């Protein structure tokens, strides 16, 4: 069930219509992305801190919140640079971010609203800084791709773990899920 990150990126790119124009737009605003990334990180971690559950995760180990701010700034900026033109490095990095969140136990209920918050806040900032509607949309699309990576990592890792522990086939596993869903 494991995914190949670059192939997954290509699928998502088509699915959300993340176009060549979006990429050039983001790259044309690299300086702006870099400038606002620390503010976005600050906002993001205030947001996480206001939620009891997420705040506990955030402060579970020494230095975690600080590391997180640094890595978030980098993450945000990479959406503008595209790293290697949104190629295999970009996809591998996004897959890895997903795996980190699964390891820590951060599920869809945390990540989806968090990404919505990033999109909303970046949109507000774009408006305040007189940026175009198009750059907002391009940013929203790449955020959706990054979100899909984190969410998919959750599913892939859970499924892999069950298959490994039980020795079940993928077919059996899928049938059990379908049966379970029918019974709910
Ligand atoms: C918009 C969604 C999110 C993005 C883009 C994001 C981004 C990142 C990035 C880039 C990393 C570093 C990964 C690495 O070390 O390679 C990270 C780690 C982490 N994130 Fe998130 N994150 C998101 C949502 C959340 C949420 C909802 C929480 C809940 C508390 C969270 C908590 C953490 C923690 C605890 C780490 C590990 C920090 C460490 O010990 O180094 N993240 N995140």
HSE, side-chain direction, 13 A CA sphere, residue 170: 4
Of all atoms in ligand 1, which is nearest to the CA of residue 63? 40
Low-confidence ranges of the chain (pLDDT < 70): 1
Long-range contacts made by residues 101-109, C-beta under 8 angstroms, separation at least 24?
101/150, 101/153, 101/154, 102/153, 102/154, 102/157, 102/158, 104/57, 105/57, 106/54, 106/57, 107/154, 108/151, 108/154
Q: What is the pLDDT, as a whole number, of residue 40?
A: 97
CB 43 within 8 A of CB 76: no
Q: What is the pLDDT, as a whole number, of residue 162?
A: 87
Nearest residue (CA) to ligand 1, atom 18:
68
Distance of CA 68 from the midpoint of ligand 1 (Å): 6
Distance of CA 175 from the midpoint of ligand 1 (Å): 33
Instruction: Assign domain 5-155 to its CATH superfamily.
Output: Globins (1.10.490.10)
Q: What is the pLDDT, as a whole number, of residue 174?
A: 87
């Amino acid at each position: 069930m494991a995914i190949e990150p670059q192939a997954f990126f290509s699928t998502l790119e088509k699915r959300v219509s993340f176009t060549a124009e979006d990429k050039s737009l983001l790259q044309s605003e690299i300086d702006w992305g870099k400038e606002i990334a620390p503010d976005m990180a600050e906002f993001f971690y205030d947001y996480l801190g206001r939620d009891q559950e997420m705040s506990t995760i955030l402060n579970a180990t020494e230095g975690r919140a600080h590391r997180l701010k640094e890595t978030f700034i980098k993450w945000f900026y990479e959406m503008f640079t595209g790293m290697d033109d949104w190629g295999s490095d970009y996809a591998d990095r996004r897959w890895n971010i997903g795996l980190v969140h699964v390891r820590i136990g951060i599920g869809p209920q945390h990540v989806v609203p968090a990404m919505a918050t990033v999109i909303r806040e970046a949109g507000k900032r774009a408006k305040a800084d007189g940026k175009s509607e198009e750059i907002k949309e391009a940013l929203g699309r790449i955020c959706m791709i990054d979100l899909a990576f984190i969410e998919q990592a959750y599913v892939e890792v859970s499924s892999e773990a069950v298959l490994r522990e039980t020795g079940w086939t993928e077919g059996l596993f899928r049938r059990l899920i379908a049966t379970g869903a029918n019974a709910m």
